Amino acid sequence: MTTRGLRVELGGGVILHGVDLTVEAGEWVAIIGPNGAGKSTLLNAVTGLVPATGVASLFGRDVRRMRHRERARVVAMVVQSPVVPPGVTVLDYVLLGRTPYIPRFGRESAADLDVVREVLVRLELRDFADRVLPTLSGGELQRVFLARALAQEARLLLLDEPTSALDIGHQQEVLDLVDTLRRDRGLTVLTTMHDLSIAGAYADRVVLLAGGRVVASGTPPEVITESMIATHYQARVRVVDTEDGPLVVPIRTP
Ligand code: ADP
Ligand code: MG
């Protein structure tokens, strides 16, 4: 996945000022940056959800030249706050991920249902299959949103703050699962992340976005530094190097 000079204007303001970003096949890249930096807008522009100028290409193809179904087979996204449709069961919701494979006026096949069942098992959602979405907890819902995206079987997975509603155990479970899928199936992963320690632990590369511009890009220890965080988040932190990546600890104001 590549962007070159990706520029987005919304509501009369420039939100992304020409972003250059490359995510290699099989790579996991985390976009970090303060609130309002343009992280969600960047993901939305990559999938064509918001109008952008410049280049956005998926595995060598211009996103804007791909038809909707075709694009949906290549890229799956979980937005930051997905709509929770009332009265829809978990099974039916996850089945929506199969839409790009189901003929226009046709029904899902046995193979589609198999994919959905496998995803439900992997995300420990089998017991929830018949529950309607509004009855689920925040963490359960987050897993359902991810399940829909995984059922789509796309090569590129875009996750906008996938773990913000999850407790630490489920955060780990979901991110480990994404990492396993990346290794087993060669998925390419682009996520935005709030938790910098977690971003550093999972991503191969970290891109720091601030004010709609890429201000740093590199390995986690290169980007997640005390001075970068002080400059761009106005936060006082200590960064401790560990085997699993930089650990970011906020320093309490005396
Ligand atoms: P982040 O995900 O990094 O917190 P966003 O991409 O959601 O940031 O937003 C970046 C900036 O773009 C924010 O200042 C936000 O208010 C603005 N923005 C996002 N969507 C719109 C829109 N539809 N109209 C006007 N401004 C928008
Ligand atoms: Mg956002």
pLDDT of the residue at 165: 79
Amino acid 1: pLDDT? 95
Any ligand 1 atom below 6 A from CB of 12:
no
Q: Which two tokens stand for residue 162?
A: 């996938």
Please tell me the distance between residue 26's alpha carbon and the centre of ligand 2 in angstroms. 23
Per-residue pLDDT, 44:
96
- Model pLDDT, residue 167: 87
Answer whether 35 contacts ligand 1 (Cβ < 6 A): yes
Assign a CATH topology to domain 1-73+155-170+183-220. Rossmann fold (3.40.50)
Sign of the alpha-carbon dihedral angle for 219, 225, 230, 231: negative
**Cβ-based neighbours of 81, under 8 Å, separated by 6 or more:** none
**H or E stretch covering 53:** strand 53-58
The answer to whether the CB of 37 is under 6 A from ligand 1 is yes
Bridge partners of residue 208, in order along the sequence: 32, 216
pLDDT per residue as tens, the chain (254 positions): 999 999 999 999 999 999 999 999 999 999 999 999 999 999 999 998 899 999 999 999 999 899 999 999 999 999 988 999 999 999 999 999 999 999 988 899 999 999 999 999 988 899 999 999 999 998 899 999 999 999 999 999 999 999 887 889 888 988 998 999 899 989 999 999 999 999 999 999 999 999 999 999 999 999 999 999 999 999 999 999 999 999 999 999 87
Which residue ranges make up each domain of the chain? Answer: 1-73+155-170+183-220, 75-153
What atom in ligand 1 is closest to the CA of residue 212?
A: 10
pLDDT of residue 254: 77
Tokens 């996945």 -> residue:
1
User: For residue 204, what are its two tokens?
Assistant: 């191969």
Nearest atom, ligand 1, residue 33 CA = 3
> What's the predicted TM-score (pTM) here?
0.94
First vs last C-alpha separation in the chain: 45
Say what the pLDDT of residue 8 is: 98
- At residue 139, the pLDDT reads 84
